[in-house]
Each structure stands twice: as structure tokens, then as C-alpha cells.
Structure 1
């Protein structure tokens, strides 16, 4: 069951590199100006919890890598996280909220769990910190603990370290106001989660 969709490292690299232009790896500690702008950004986006992102997701446990196209719909505390494998076409659909999570697309039918993270880990072996990733994907610090943040030459977050995870922001869509992340790489050895975001949409 843990063998969901196998991909080679070469195809995985091509999949992600095609999605956005790589950002120069400049990392500067926050000063009063950049930390002030980040604080304002977090205030501006504090109530942004009705959105949809579409793109590609890859996960790795240090041995196996799996990837697929991703549609993530966030509606307040409710979410729908749908991944389709590129080779088999198999679809996994994770839905839920404060009352628990359901995962469809498994052999043997839908599974239920008390939370999304433990359900994904137990059923398909994916270690995805969904609670934190919900904020990290927006370029925000999660509310789960202290965070260290560094910035690129453009003044946008470049690296975020929180809850044992290192989150690198490889590309941003600066045509939006505020700018939105396009490539988000999170790692907590041996686990890796990579988002290559192709489109953001926000409910008004």
C-alpha cells in the first residue's frame, strides 16, 4: 500500500524544474525592515483561508519518491487535498476538518482518521505536515511554535525553519499583491515535501 506512485529521481527533477524559474539562493537574516514587511504580510493574509492552489506535489521518505498533480482547496477549517499519479492515473482524495479526515482512493475503500497527518502516514506512508504547510504555502509562519526566517534579496522569505522542518522558497509570483510562493520545498530528514504551484485562486 505504501507503494503509491513510483517515479525516478530524474523524472522528478524534470517535473519540478519545469514549473518555475529557480530563485537565486540569497539568504539574509531579517532586519527591522524585512521583518516589519513580513509582519505586515502576515497581518494581510491572516484571514486568508478560502483558496485553491493547483500544481504538482512530490514526497520522499529518503528511499521512495512519489509525485502527482495536486489540487488543494481550503475552505476555512475544511480542506480537500486531491493528488493524481502521473503514471497510474490513480487519484487520492483527502478531505476533512476539525472532526477528522477521510482518505479515498485506497484499496479496500475509504479510510478515516482523527487527523490528516497521521492518516496519510498510516495509509500511504506520506509524511506531510498539512497543518503547518497550510500556512507555509502562503509564505507565512505557522502558529505552532517559534520560527527562524531568512530573506532573499527581493525582501521575500527565502528560508523558514520551524517545528524541525526547513522550508525553502525557490520562486515567487511577484505579479500578485501580495506576492505568492510558487515553489515550496520542505524537508525534515529523511522526509521531503515539494510543492510546484502553477496557479492560485482566492475566494472573495
Structure 2
């Protein structure tokens, strides 16, 4: 059983919440397996970026930048190098607002729900307890002891570079990204869905040792998803 935030019936005083949340995170995930670790595919040869490949990637990213509303469903694995957990996820993005929900792999019970936008973020655990912060990365750091760069991940999950910082890209023989290195993170794309236009990743493995985030995307839908901000 994954208990991502504070245990049922316990809401520690404000000054103790960060430590209690981290302890609950580590203890609750101790027995959970990072099941997506078994989702490897044989790595394809990687090509260094040349002018032709970069121009094609820029055109693809320009097309994706027009898609502000989308929904992803799939499986998620998290690891801090010592403890790991996995489950299903739904990510709804509508403009600058997001609604990310993770559920347990067997029972489907809520692990956590992260909602927010420019006005701030809130995180709700399966017991209904809630934490808020004006900054989503600060909120995640309080709970997990480390943070996933959500703004960047929003681009990476679509196979694009995030804006605002330099990035290195390597490519597969078919011209799709094999990896993106940005802001200290390595993002690998073991598998793509070429039937979509443009092609979309089936797997996104992001790592910055010792941390790992692995997404296996089962469905992707463009269009509004009815996201509510953090009120």
C-alpha cells in the first residue's frame, strides 16, 4: 500500500509537515517495486544532431507548442535511489493549469492528486489531506525531499525541449529524439507511437541520479480536459 502523504488522521503542525511528509513518503514506498523498470526495449543507434535533424525537431516543436490542452493516461514509476513506487496516472493539461493524479496499481485507490497553475499548487493524498504552496516544485520538495521539474516535464513528455535553457538532443535513425539532456536531467525515449501526427512518445524515462521518473503512455488525447486550478 502506497501512502504518499501523511497517514490517516494525522496532520502535523506546520513546522513539522515537511519532515513528516518525507518520512511517510519513504516508509510508505519501501515495499513498492518500480515495475516500469522492466519496460526496457532494445536501444536504437543514436545520431548526433545535425542541421537537418535540428530543423525537423524545431518544426515538430513549433507544431506541438500550439497544443495547449491534452490528456495523458498511463503508468508511472518513481524512485529516489532507495525507495520506489508505481501506479497508473492521468495528466490533464489545459493551458497553464494541470491536474495530475496517481492511483495504486491494484486497487486503483488514490495515491495523490496534484493540481495547480500560475496561482499556486495543492497536493491531496488518498486520505483527503491537503498541502498547498505558491510554488509546485517547493511543494513537491516538502513532500518528497526532491522535486520533478513539472514545467520542463510538460515539454519532455511530448518529446520536445523545454524553453528557457540549453538542451542537447540525440536522434534515432528515423529522426525522432532518442534523448534530451536539459537542466541536469537525462530524458530517454525508448519507444514512440509513429501512428500519431506528429509522432508521440510511448515511454519517457527521466533521470537525474539518484532520481528516476518513468512514464509509460497508454493513451494521449488532444483537447480540453476540464482542469481546475488550485483555489
Tell me whether the two structures share a fold, i.e. TM-score over 0.5.
yes
The answer for the alignment partner of 2:11 in structure 1 is none
The answer for the alignment partner of 2:157 in structure 1 is 137
The answer for the alignment partner of 2:210 in structure 1 is 190
User: Which 10-residue stretch deviates more, 102-111 or 163-172?
Assistant: 102-111
1:98 pairs, out of 106, 118, 122, with 118
The answer for the alignment partner of 1:63 in structure 2 is 82
Q: Deviations over 1:36-63 (max 9, x none)?
A: 1101001111121200000011111110
Contact 1:127 1:191 survives alignment (8 Å): no
TM-score under structure 2 length normalisation? 0.80
Contact 1:59 1:126 survives alignment (8 Å): no
Alpha carbons of structure 1 residues 35 and 151: separation in structure 2 relative to 1, 3 Å: same
Could you tell me how far apart the structure 2 residues matched to 1:162 and 1:114 are? 24
TM-score under structure 1 length normalisation? 0.90
Could you tell me how far apart the structure 2 residues matched to 1:198 and 1:49 are? 20
The answer for the alignment partner of 2:32 in structure 1 is 7
Could you tell me how far apart the structure 1 residues matched to 2:89 and 2:28 are? 15
Aligned length: 198
Unaligned runs of 5+ in 1: none
Shift of 1:122: 1.2
The answer for the alignment partner of 2:15 in structure 1 is none
User: Are positions 1:72 and 2:91 aligned together?
Assistant: yes
Unaligned runs of 5+ in 2: 1-23, 225-231
Q: Deviations over 1:101-126 (max 9, x none)?
A: 01111657211012222212212445
Could you tell me how far apart the structure 1 residues matched to 2:144 and 2:119 are? 21
Structure showing the higher strand proportion among its residues: 1
Alignment of 1:145-164 (within 5 A): 145-164=165-184
User: Are positions 1:167 and 2:191 aligned together?
Assistant: no
